[in-house]
Amino acid sequence: MSMPAQRRTSRDIRSDSRLDVLHAVLSAGETTRNAIAQDTGLSAATVVTIVGELIDEGIVVETKVTAGRVGRPTATLGMNPQRGRVVGIDVAETYVRAVMFDTALNRIGEAEGAGDEHVLEPDTIVEGIGSVLDLLLAQEGVARESVLGVGISLPGLVQGPDGVAVVVPNWEWRSVELDHLRERVGMPLVIDNPLRAMVAAELWLGRGRSASSMVTVNLGTGVGAGIVLEGKVLRGATNSAGEWGHSLLMLDGRLCRCGRRGCVEAYIGVPGIHQTLRELAPAHPLAEVELQHDFIVSLAESARGADPDAAARETVTRTASYLGSALADLVAVLNPEVVTLTGWTTWALGDLLVPVARERLRSEAPGEAGAAVQLEVSTVSGNSVATGMAMIALERTLVDAGLLTTRIPVAL
Amino acid sequence: MSMPAQRRTSRDIRSDSRLDVLHAVLSAGETTRNAIAQDTGLSAATVVTIVGELIDEGIVVETKVTAGRVGRPTATLGMNPQRGRVVGIDVAETYVRAVMFDTALNRIGEAEGAGDEHVLEPDTIVEGIGSVLDLLLAQEGVARESVLGVGISLPGLVQGPDGVAVVVPNWEWRSVELDHLRERVGMPLVIDNPLRAMVAAELWLGRGRSASSMVTVNLGTGVGAGIVLEGKVLRGATNSAGEWGHSLLMLDGRLCRCGRRGCVEAYIGVPGIHQTLRELAPAHPLAEVELQHDFIVSLAESARGADPDAAARETVTRTASYLGSALADLVAVLNPEVVTLTGWTTWALGDLLVPVARERLRSEAPGEAGAAVQLEVSTVSGNSVATGMAMIALERTLVDAGLLTTRIPVAL
């Protein structure tokens, strides 16, 4: 039952229908009014009205008109790519990556800057973000005025009683740093954290098109879960939901970098996978590979082929088994329709991890929940955090233009 | 963003406002139109309209009218207890307990029948439920026609592609048994599972009055979590959400009765607590207590007082510590405002468990999520499963009367 803060008005409802229509157009790429009515369950009349409004507002365009064998000609609809640009930026500890899309969600270009995980000075990080953004604009020849919105993912972004803050180890930002960031960007800005960004990408461009409850699991240095329930992103009381990487796999187990023992991340985060290999085969050449990305790529190579390396293979199997057990916990609690895997460990190892993890998940998650869930590698390619932030920036743009209300999961 | 299946109409909105008003009246016991407007955030005019409708429909009554110092006299409002009766029934493996309420949620009476956990014949169980219901009606002198609805909690109730089924070990019911139950009861019937019932009770009568995200944890033979997010009960894709008791505390740990190793339930379910004691002190007199309820009551007695039994005390401390760690996982994933504890282990041991569990929870749950969450013993006393099923039956009655829509969390 809804609380006062979530009260809905008739404006929200119009907005819900608009969002459904937009979602249908974005998902399909090209579609028709009839197909939208089928996809959304809205009446044909409502679809005609909403599409008319969206065309008037320059959000949607008729891309071509086809004469049918009977009746009126059919117009093909798509998003209007000319309405402007949106940018999504993934700020990680070791890099800043920015991706630009047009309003039809075509990827226009991207730019990256190297971060330095030992430089924790907020001013330096803010300037790093600003200069990657400037670089991307220059590279694509896009004027600042053409950018409708910028979405920036900051690790550890939370919502507290005193507003928004960024809380990562050794990297504490309060509102002053966020104001500084807003100033430096100088364009409409929305910020959120990587799990929320990742799941927004899945919601708009991946399995979220068809599933209403879904968990998207990010596998990289850290691991976490973006959660969608009843078509909405779960944020939690302090925007901290989804920290599944810091739930227990093993009481009193391996020490996690968060300080807790036995966290999921300590087993299936990249340093955890490295530790599994070292425990299995301390003298193995892979144990000497220090850079995380190199390690994962080499591990994947060694574990593949007709004659795979035994220790590499066993490391992958154990990791997949840990992953399946940890996913079973999520499925036990949330009972989602779909779990998708994303992140750079997934891109390197996903096809090797999924079969073992799926079997483990099905045998360990409670009966119906385990039987019902589908485990898949995400179809959203590339940097899904940057992509998701661009989606969130687009949502926010539509809200700010009065086309949607803030009831939808837009960010902070 | 909402999926077609969750589309809302203006009727839903009116219904949301009605639900808010009803919630405010039920929560307060006695209230006024002004207080409702304050509690709900609705306009005074809307409250006046809705209250008028609810009075016309016999749901709400004016209990007294007080002349104020200035302005018009103020009417005190309450639920109309005379509108009828609702019954909630908790069907467990070893007992059937039925509780009757009036429509103002005053407890009218209750009845219990002993089950036999070795008799798994559906006909016998259905007849057991029917006879407890008959007993309660006779005992309270209530005619069947005065009962607006009956809510029955069945363990392991899930929703599959072929409809609803009851799935517990050695106790598989499909639609035919449920039809039989419906027939035997012969009154408007709604069924759901214990976790959903328990959290409905908390939502209407406990912390759910003030928190919009909440987890209610049941501690008994089994353990599980009822989850409320944004004011709504999380059911999951197959009505199986909340099986936190079968998430991992310890990979490859104790064998759980579900067949998995290391489940939370294997440590903090009553048989798990018994095992902890036996591991600590195999020859302890408490290790010989076979009946679960007797064991927990004796354990609580031994662990209290100025000179508590050391093994009993340590068993309680370890249990509290396991509980805190396992709750930290829930908080990491869901980031709720509140966690409440319920169930008969809680009634016996809650005050001993909470301080240790709370400390563990705060230190192990991720930063802001752990700092923000409140851990409390539920204020909903008695059998919260039966109470919650009565709440769900009342909700369903209001829906069937066209006063609310099915968008609210009513059961199957």
pLDDT tens across the length of chain B (412 residues): 323 333 334 444 556 678 788 878 877 778 999 999 988 888 899 999 999 988 988 889 998 887 767 667 788 999 888 889 999 999 987 789 999 999 888 899 999 997 665 666 788 889 999 999 999 999 999 999 999 999 999 887 777 656 667 766 556 666 667 888 889 999 999 988 899 999 999 988 888 878 889 999 999 999 999 999 987 889 899 888 999 999 999 999 999 999 999 999 999 999 999 999 999 999 999 999 989 999 999 999 999 988 999 999 999 999 999 999 999 999 999 999 999 999 989 999 999 999 999 999 999 998 889 999 999 999 998 889 999 999 889 888 877 776 665 444 444 4
B212 and A6 within 8 Å at the Cβ level: the answer is yes
Residues of chain A scoring pLDDT < 50 = 1-13, 406-412
What is the reported pLDDT for A219? 95
Q: Which CA distances in Å does A2 have to A69, A405, B160, B244?
A: 49, 17, 27, 25
Closest listed residue to residue A112, CA positions, set A83, A91, A142 = A91
- Residue in chain A closest to B38 (alpha carbons) equals A4
Rounded Cα distance between B196 and B227, Å, is 8
Residue A283 is classified by DSSP as T
A335 and B243 within 8 Å at the Cβ level: the answer is yes
What is the reported pLDDT for B398? 79
Output the six-digit token pair for B358: 């709370």
Residue A249 is classified by DSSP as S
Closest listed residue to residue A24, CA positions, set A84, A86, A78, A66 = A78
Instruction: Give burial (CB, 10 Å; 0-12/13-18/19+) of B146.
Output: middle
Work out the minimum CA distance from B11 to partner chain A, whole angstroms: 10
Quote ipTM for the complex: 0.86
B328 and A213 within 8 Å at the Cβ level: the answer is no
What is the reported pLDDT for A389? 93
What is the reported pLDDT for A160? 61
CATH of A4-79, one of 3.20.20.140, 3.30.1490.150, 1.10.10.10, 3.40.50.1100: 1.10.10.10
Closest listed residue to residue B375, CA positions, set B312, B314, B330, B319 = B330
What is the reported pLDDT for A167? 67
Output the six-digit token pair for B268: 């903090």
Closest listed residue to residue B150, CA positions, set B395, B406, B403 = B395
Rounded Cα distance between A403 and A19, Å, is 9
Quote the Cα angle for B377-B220-B270, to 5°: 120
What is the reported pLDDT for B160? 62
List of chain A residues whose C-beta atoms are within 8 Å of the C-beta of residue B337: 237
B65's enclosing H/E stretch is strand B60-66
Asked whether the beta carbons of B325 and B357 are under 8 A apart, the reply is no
Residues 6 or more apart from A54 whose CB is under 8 A from it?
A18, A21, A22, A25, A60, A403
What is the reported pLDDT for A15? 62
Tell me the sheet residues that pair with A96. A91, A113
Among candidates A212, A241, A258 on the partner chain, residue whose Cβ is nearest the Cβ of B334: A241
Superfamily of domain B207-379: ATPase, nucleotide binding domain (3.30.420.40)
Quote the Cα angle for A333-A339-A342, to 5°: 125
Output the six-digit token pair for B389: 């099923």
Work out the minimum CA distance from A391 to partner chain B, whole angstroms: 12
Superfamily of domain B83-199+385-400: ATPase, nucleotide binding domain (3.30.420.40)
Asked whether the beta carbons of B385 and B153 are under 8 A apart, the reply is yes
The maximal CA–CA distance of chain A, rounded, in angstroms, is: 74
Output the six-digit token pair for A79: 């998003």
What is the reported pLDDT for A175? 66
CATH 3.30.420.40 region(s) of chain B? 83-199+385-400, 207-379
> CATH top-level class for A83-196+385-394?
alpha beta
Quote the Cα angle for A252-A255-A256, to 5°: 120
Asked whether the beta carbons of A216 and A226 are under 8 A apart, the reply is yes
- Residue in chain A closest to B329 (alpha carbons) equals A247
Among candidates A7, A158, A212 on the partner chain, residue whose Cβ is nearest the Cβ of B368: A158
A340's enclosing H/E stretch is strand A338-342
CATH 1.10.10.10 region(s) of chain B? 4-79
Alpha-carbon B288 to chain mean position: 32
Q: Which CA distances in Å does A296 have to A299, A301, A320, A343, B202?
A: 5, 9, 14, 12, 47
β-pairing, B163-168 with A214-219? unpaired
Work out the minimum CA distance from A159 to partner chain B, whole angstroms: 8
Work out the minimum CA distance from B131 to partner chain A, whole angstroms: 31
Residues 6 or more apart from B266 whose CB is under 8 A from it?
B249, B253, B254, B255, B256, B257, B272, B275
A-B Cβ pairs (cutoff 8 Å, strict): 232
For the CA atoms of chain B, what is the radius of gyration?
22
List of chain A residues whose C-beta atoms are within 8 Å of the C-beta of residue B229: 229, 234
CATH 3.30.420.40 region(s) of chain A? 83-196+385-394, 207-379
